Amino acid sequence: MSLVPFDDRDGWIWLDGQFVPWREAKVHVLTHGLHYASAVFEGERMYGGEIYKLREHTERLFKSAEMLDFEIPFTVEEIDQACKDTCAKNGLTDAYLRPIAWRGSEMIGVSAQNTKIHVAIAVWDWPSYFSPEERAKGIRLTWAKYKRPSPETEPVHAKATGLYMICTISKHAAEKAGYTDAMMLDYRGYIAESTGSNVFFVKNGALHTPTPDCFLNGITRQSVIALAKSKGIEVIERHIKPEELADFTECFVVGTAAEVTPVGEIGEYRFTPGALSLGLADDYARMVRREAVPA
Ligand code: PMP
C-alpha cells in the first residue's frame, strides 16, 4: 500500500456537488462530525469500469444517515452518478471508493439540529486489503478486546464512523501482537465479525455464518451467500459459539475491501484454506468483473 498521506495526493474529490482539487478538500476543526461522530460512510469497489453493487451501497449510505437522524441533501441517483463521475475524473477504472456524509460546523454540542449536511466522495487505487502471501496461507486473527454492542446500545446496522472506535482499538492490539486482524464476539458472546469484514466457516461442505442481528449485514456477505446457494452449497445462518470453532475445517472473511480472504487461525483454532474458500474467492473475483462463474 502507498505511504503517501491521504491529504497530500493528486486528483479530484467530489465535495458537496463539485469537484475540488484533492489537497483542498478540507473541513474545519469545529466540525460536528469530528467531535460527535455524526458521520456515515461507504466503501465500494469499481472493477473494470463498473462499481460493484453501486445502488446497494448508495442506499445503505442513505439508510445509515437516517439512522443517525440526518438527511443527505442529494438523491440516490445523484450520488450514484457522482461516484461514477469521481472515478472518471480521476481516470480510474479499478478503484476503491469512499463516499462520506457528515454534520458541519454550524453547531457544536450534542444537539445538532441546524448543521449543514456535507457529502464527499474520494476514490483511489487500492488493489488488495491483504497481501497475496497472507491470502494464500490464510490470515491470522486473534480475539478482539471489545464486543459488538447490543442493538439497544447503538444503531448497529448503520455504517457510521463512531461504531469503528472499538474496531480500530481491537485491530491495533492485534497488529501489535503480530496478527493481521481481530475476531469480535457480540454482546452475548457469539461470534460476530472481524473489525472490517463478515465471517464464514465450513463444516461438512456447508457454510455457517453468524446471523447479522447486531452488526453490518455486509453487501459482500449477501453476495457470497447468493453465490454459494446458486452453486448448491448449503448456507446456515445462526448463532455460533466460540468453542464451535474446533468443529470447522475452513474459515474466510468477506467484505468490499477484504473481498473473500481465507483465514488460517483465530486464537487457539486452526483452519486450512480449502476448496470451498478458495473456490468462492475465485468465483467472487469473477462475479465482480462480470465474468462467467463456473456452476
Ligand atoms: N463489517 C464491518 C465492520 C465492515 O466495516 C464491513 C465493510 N464495510 C463489513 C462488515 C462488510 O461490509 P461490505 O461487504 O458491505 O463491505
Q: What is the pLDDT of residues 166-212, one digit of tens each?
A: 999 999 999 999 999 999 999 999 999 999 999 999 999 999 999 99
Give residue for cell 450514484.
80
Would you state the pLDDT for residue 6?
97
For the cut 80, the answer to whether the pLDDT of residue 130 exceeds it is no
Architecture of domain 12-124 in this structure: 2-Layer Sandwich (3.30)
CA distance 185 to 12: 39
- Sorted by where each begins, the domain ranges of the chain are 12-124, 132-288
Would you state the pLDDT for residue 2?
52
Which atom of ligand 1 is closest in space to residue 257's alpha carbon?
A: 16
**Which residue, among 264, 266, 258, 263, has the nearest Cα to 284 in the 3D structure?**
258
| Residue range 132-288, CATH number | 3.20.10.10
Note whether 66 and 155 are within 8 A (CB). Answer: no
Alpha helix stretches (DSSP H) within 75-123: 76-89
pLDDT band at 280 (very low <50, low <70, confident <90, very high): very high
Q: Which residues are catalytic?
A: 159
pTM for this predicted structure: 0.97
For the cut 90, the answer to whether the pLDDT of residue 132 exceeds it is no
**Which residue, among 188, 204, 288, has the nearest Cα to 240 in the 3D structure?**
188
Who lines ligand 1 at CB under 6 A?
Answer: 43, 159, 193, 196-198, 216, 218-221, 255-256
Residue 294 carries which DSSP code?
A: P
Q: What is the pLDDT of residues 266-275, one digit of tens each?
A: 999 999 999 9
